[in-house]
């Protein structure tokens, strides 16, 4: 009985910690997809790029992964703004921002993966820091810091985004551009400029999330693929643009996945998790915190 309780408790804890990471990974996609209606299917791939950049900083400069992620954030913001300029010029201003835009990001994802394979090969890459191999024992709970540290970092990232969207003028403008672009123009604010800033923020999050990713697991060029379905499922379930909803949906998915993997087997995990998501969306189509 004690063994069963210990297994259950540690499974719940691991699912909770993993769900926090899912939320951080999905936060940028929530902004791009939920608020800007840009289906950036390559979003997890940008997190992989960030992870490789963090890996290089850690290997050559011995920089802590979290610090490396923070250092890279402004660079990724700039990349995001440039990418939005290209997207807007090629698709959005011509009202061709649906399937063609999706194909654009799919092609970008493929090009990035090929580039990473050519540069780094297909071998797994690791970062080195003390807490990755450390596990705290609290009673019957085993708390691996390789999951706990990213969980705390994820909560910090989500808090910054939530406060920024709700409290700052730019954040409120980002929300407004999704709801009423005309009203935004009446306030002398350019919807295109606001979208450029918002997409820059969405991509900027992937630098820090990349640091969390490479702490949690070894890295290889196709790592982003396994998260694409999860990210967009979380965006929809959370309520299309809701950061707090994203956190709730991600924790829900993490718990279901981990519990299924422990008690039914890893092969059942995706099917059961997405089954729960479909049932939830059937009951509440707008998501948990959708407007």
Supply the Cα-derived Rg of the chain in whole angstroms: 19
Fold observed for domain 2-283: ABC transporter involved in vitamin B12 uptake, BtuC (1.10.3470)
Helices 145-167 and 2-29: angle between axes, nearest 10 degrees: 40
Cα 34 to Cα 92, 128, 240, 246: the distances in Å are 16, 36, 4, 11
Label residue 213 exposed, middle or buried (CB < 10 Å: 0-12, 13-18, 19+).
buried
Placement of tokens 């979003």 in the chain: 43
Global model pTM greater than 0.75: yes
**Of 130, 125, 132, which is closest to residue 215 (Cα–Cα)?**
132
* CB-CB contact of 151 with 160 (8 Å): no
Q: For the chain, 291 residues long, give each residue's pLDDT as a single digit of tens.
A: 445 777 888 888 999 999 999 999 999 999 998 888 888 999 999 999 999 999 999 999 999 999 999 999 999 999 999 999 999 888 877 765 566 778 889 899 999 999 999 999 988 999 988 889 888 988 888 889 999 999 999 999 999 999 999 888 888 888 877 766 666 666 666 888 889 999 999 999 999 999 999 999 999 999 988 888 889 888 888 877 889 989 999 998 888 888 888 777 777 777 776 777 777 777 776 666 665
- CA pair distance 151, 219, nearest whole angstrom: 18
């Amino acid at each position: 009985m004690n063994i069963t309780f210990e297994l259950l408790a540690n499974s719940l804890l691991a699912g909770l910690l993993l769900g926090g990471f899912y939320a951080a990974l999905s936060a940028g996609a929530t902004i791009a997809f939920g608020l800007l209606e840009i289906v950036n299917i390559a979003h997890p791939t940008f997190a992989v790029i960030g992870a490789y950049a963090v890996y290089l900083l850690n290997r050559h400069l011995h920089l802590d992964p979290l610090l490396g992620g923070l250092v890279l954030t402004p660079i990724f913001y700039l990349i995001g703004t440039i990418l939005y300029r290209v997207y807007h010029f090629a698709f959005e201003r011509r009202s061709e921002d649906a399937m063609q835009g999706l194909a654009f990001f799919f092609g970008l994802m493929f090009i990035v993966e090929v580039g990473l394979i050519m540069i780094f090969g297909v071998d797994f890459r690791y970062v080195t820091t003390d807490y990755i191999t450390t596990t705290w024992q609290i009673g019957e709970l085993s708390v691996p810091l390789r999951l706990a540290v990213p969980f705390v970092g994820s909560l910090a990232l989500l808090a910054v985004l939530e406060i920024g969207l709700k409290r700052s003028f730019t954040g409120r403008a980002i929300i407004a551009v999704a709801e009423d672009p005309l009203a935004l123009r009446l306030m002398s604010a350019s919807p295109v400029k606001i979208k450029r800033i918002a997409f820059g923020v969405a991509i900027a999050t992937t630098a820090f999330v990349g640091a969390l990713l490479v702490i949690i697991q070894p890295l290889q060029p196709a790592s982003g693929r396994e998260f694409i379905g999860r990210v967009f499922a979380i965006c929809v379930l959370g309520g299309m643009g809701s950061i707090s909803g994203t956190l709730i949906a991600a924790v829900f998915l993490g718990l279901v996945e981990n519990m299924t993997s422990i008690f039914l087997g890893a092969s059942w995990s995706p099917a059961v998790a997405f089954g729960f998501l479909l049932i939830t969306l059937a009951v509440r189509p707008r998501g948990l915190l959708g407007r």
